[in-house]
Structure 1
Amino acid sequence: MSSPMPPVDYSDEKVGIYVVTLLLAFAATLSVSLRFWARRLMRLPWGIDDYLALIALLIQHGAEAGTIVCVELGGLGRDVRLFTIRNPNATVYFYQSIFAIEVLYALSSPIIKLSVLAFYWRIFPTRTMKVACIVLASASIAWAIVIGIVDFVQCQPLRAFWDVQLQQSPGTKCINIILFWLGNSAANCAIDLVTLILPIREVMKLHNSISRKIGICAVFLLGGVAFAASLTRTISTIVLYYVGVTNPNIVEVYVAVIGACLPTLIPVYRRLRYGDASKSSKASHSGKKEISINTIGRISNRTQRRTAGEGSFERLRNEDSFYPPDSQHTHHIDVSGNGDCRPSKDTQLDDIPLKGIIVRHEIAWSDDKSPVV
């Protein structure tokens, strides 16, 4: 005997869905914009991790458009029995929108993971980290391929996914959509968890105080909001399996984009608080003015008291804090008297009188204790 139908729900969650998704869309867009601004503040070129974050955001905006269709034409947020009375095709629009969202999700979710891994690759150039990034990137790409294939074969024929009448046909075969969501969400959650804890090992190897290491770890753990969103989606999918299909989780990727961008926004925070993207609170409160010196290869920062008559120096990026202790650093410094070092337009590089401070900073990375050649 079939179970009795649940009572009709007259509530309308349409406004709530719009508020949540549009606010997250705005926050994610702002995060990516600030990420690019942070790179510009530090006078660094935009990297592949930045572009991947932008691509993931644009794809998810496409999924947001699908969400709007799902709300307006498919009745998302309202009892489907009431909505179909006014719009008999609501079920078709609903499942077509869900299909589009799932396809776009299979693209945007792994791309934002690749952005995070590219960020790790850039700031932790050790062999262990690179191997881990390759493994996780391969897992993310494999996940995307599998989910993309299943999206298009989940019903035979595919049209049966949104055509309820065709689903009743004897020749139609469809997988359990809730179990499919649960499987891809659980795998996605596992990849997010490993990605979240990946930089902890490298941070603990730094030559810094415990409090400094904890602070750096906290910055990277800001990306944990992506894991939290993925875990929430997994739990909600389990609930859907036992309770029945209600409203799917459609905000996970936006949260992941925000989490991926947060660790990169430190220059923006320093610019807004201290007026200088490369100043720390310690330097700002000590009464000293930071100056930086141009380098060949990597960069070097020095904090000195500026005396009258000193020329200004251009601030460069500070990545030394992420170098592990097993890396080898070689500094070559030449110092000569003060003078005007500005060459004329016709002066060749080799003829420039290098008056001032010149630093060459060479770094060799090694994960073992063997000597580096």
Structure 2
Amino acid sequence: MASSTITPASLPPAGQTSNFVDPPYIGGKFVAVNCIFLPLAVIALGVRTWTRLFVVRSFRWDDYLMIIALLLSCVLTGVTLEMLNWGLGKHMWDVPLADFMAQFPKLNLIAAIIYCAATGFTKVSVLVFYLRIFPSRNFHIAVWTIVFIAAGYSIASILANIFSCNPIAKSWDLTITTGSCMNRPVFYFANAGLGIFTDFATVAVPIPWLRRLQMPARQKVAVGVILAMGCFVGIVSCIRLGSLYTLLKSTDLTWATTDALMWCTIELNLGIFGGCVTAIRPFVRRYFPRLLGLSSGGGYTSSQSRSRKHGHPLGSIPHSDRVNFTNQDNQYTTTLTTLRGAPDNGSEEHILASHPSGHAKDADGTTGIIRTVEFDVENSSTAPQRE
């Protein structure tokens, strides 16, 4: 219902009137999206943090970067939900001008800055994680190139938002009539294009090296799911680009911005979720090992043969002072030793150190149980014939 005492933020189109009582409203779906995707990102980062602190016991730079990204995502959610109180989700002609001018432009600018920073931290975190997986020098060069692009355009986007108008206050103070501003929707459009490029580049860069890895089928499926998640984030970015195109052509700022911010929220939180999935494999390996095709015991096991051949301590050269069970002069022995009970870590290797107690210690000092399998290596050409 229109009121002669309230000035709308913009004039209604022909054939419509302002409604300040019960106007059309799409803010409900925006709230629902935030209630779904932000908790998803929080849970994923919680599992990742648990994995790093209590399973792997190694907290790295990529973990800190992802925590910053999630904190920024939480702030973004708070800012955008506050925008609902100042016109977001309604048509401009259904929003009182006093409400719109009071906070909406300022909160919209803050949301844009936070989004650019959060996506930058998310992408750099994933790329830094890649650096610890593949030791190849060429791979590191490729990753650092993408890091430079992602971080560079994120910083540039933050600065462009801050200094988009001259004077700067013109960005949120609509009473300033002098000066000039950049075309913000066009800038958002270009920014989204760079974001899509880095999304798909982040997915594509490890593929040539992943093909060289030898891993069980279930692990290959898990890696495929991770890459698919990255592709899905890129697809969401493309959808967001479409919403920005609508914003570019629309003068109904409070209505068109709703979908654009909604897809920003989905993209950012899915990016955090996907970035955390790549780092929680040790968590799955310890608590849900069957998902990776591992035994439930968390270590290497072997069935004991009912009839064992004779064995003796490790030796890589002949030892004349040991019992020769096969009566041959060119007998060699070796010992396979594995560590049981050691904590999982991000690597597939355990570096064992000697310990006076006769047990072994892994790299973080935890004592495990040594299981030794001994066998003989004989020269078949000289071995005696057995009946």
Task: Give the TM-score normalised by structure 1.
Answer: 0.72
Q: For residues 115 and 33 of structure 1, what CA distance do their matches in structure 2 show? A: 16
Q: For residues 39 and 160 of structure 1, what CA distance do their matches in structure 2 show? A: 45
Cα deviation digits, residues 69-121 of structure 1 (max 9, x gap): 2112x211112322216xx1323411100111111122111111110001100
Kindly indicate whether residue 112 of structure 2 is the aligned counterpart of residue 102 of structure 1. Answer: yes
Change (3 A) 1:283 1:150: same
- Counterpart residue number, 1:263: 278
Q: Which amino acid aligns with 1:304?
A: S
- Counterpart residue number, 2:87: 75
* Equivalent of 1:172 in 179, 187, 190: 179
Cα deviation digits, residues 271-311 of structure 1 (max 9, x gap): 5545x8xx843534xxxx553xxxxxxxxxx442379xx99
Deviation of 1:210 (Å):
7.4
Is the deviation greater in 89-98 or in 180-189? 89-98
Kept after mapping to 1: 8 A contact 2:229/2:274: yes
Q: For residues 79 and 174 of structure 1, what CA distance do their matches in structure 2 show? A: 23
- Counterpart residue number, 2:162: 152
Q: Which runs of 5+ in 2 are unaligned?
A: 1-10, 306-337, 374-387
Kept after mapping to 2: 8 A contact 1:200/1:217: no
Kindly indicate whether residue 40 of structure 2 is the aligned counterpart of residue 27 of structure 1. Answer: yes
SS in 2 for 1:341: coil
* Equivalent of 1:242 in 237, 240, 249: 249
Q: For residues 68 and 174 of structure 1, what CA distance do their matches in structure 2 show? A: 26
Change (3 A) 1:99 1:290: closer
- Counterpart residue number, 2:309: none
- Counterpart residue number, 1:370: none
Change (3 A) 1:172 1:124: same
SS in 1 for 2:56: coil
User: Following superposition of structure 1 onto structure 2, how do residues 120-135 of structure 1 map, counting pairs within 5 Å?
Assistant: 120-135=130-145
- Counterpart residue number, 2:302: 304
SS in 2 for 1:283: coil
Change (3 A) 1:163 1:340: closer
Kept after mapping to 2: 8 A contact 1:70/1:98: yes
SS in 2 for 1:120: helix
Q: For residues 59 and 282 of structure 1, what CA distance do their matches in structure 2 show? A: 37
Change (3 A) 1:22 1:333: closer
Kindly indicate whether residue 67 of structure 2 is the aligned counterpart of residue 50 of structure 1. Answer: no
- Counterpart residue number, 2:318: none
Change (3 A) 1:319 1:153: same
Deviation of 1:42 (Å):
3.1
Q: How many residues align?
A: 313
Deviation of 1:58 (Å):
0.7
Cα deviation digits, residues 116-136 of structure 1 (max 9, x gap): 001100111211221011101
Q: For residues 220 and 370 of structure 2, what CA distance do their matches in structure 1 show? A: 38
- Counterpart residue number, 2:24: 11
Is the deviation greater in 151-160 or in 210-219? 210-219
Kindly indicate whether residue 202 of structure 2 is the aligned counterpart of residue 195 of structure 1. Answer: yes
- Counterpart residue number, 1:281: 293
Q: For residues 212 and 135 of structure 1, what CA distance do their matches in structure 2 show? A: 28
Kept after mapping to 2: 8 A contact 1:340/1:355: no
Is the deviation greater in 221-230 or in 103-112? 221-230
Change (3 A) 1:306 1:115: farther
Q: Which runs of 5+ in 1 are unaligned?
A: 292-301, 322-330, 344-348, 359-373
Q: For residues 210 and 265 of structure 1, what CA distance do their matches in structure 2 show? A: 18
Kept after mapping to 2: 8 A contact 1:114/1:140: yes
Deviation of 1:59 (Å):
1.5
SS in 1 for 2:278: helix
Q: For residues 103 and 26 of structure 1, what CA distance do their matches in structure 2 show? A: 22
Q: Which amino acid aligns with 1:127?
A: R
Change (3 A) 1:52 1:290: closer
- Counterpart residue number, 1:328: none
Q: For residues 56 and 183 of structure 1, what CA distance do their matches in structure 2 show? A: 22
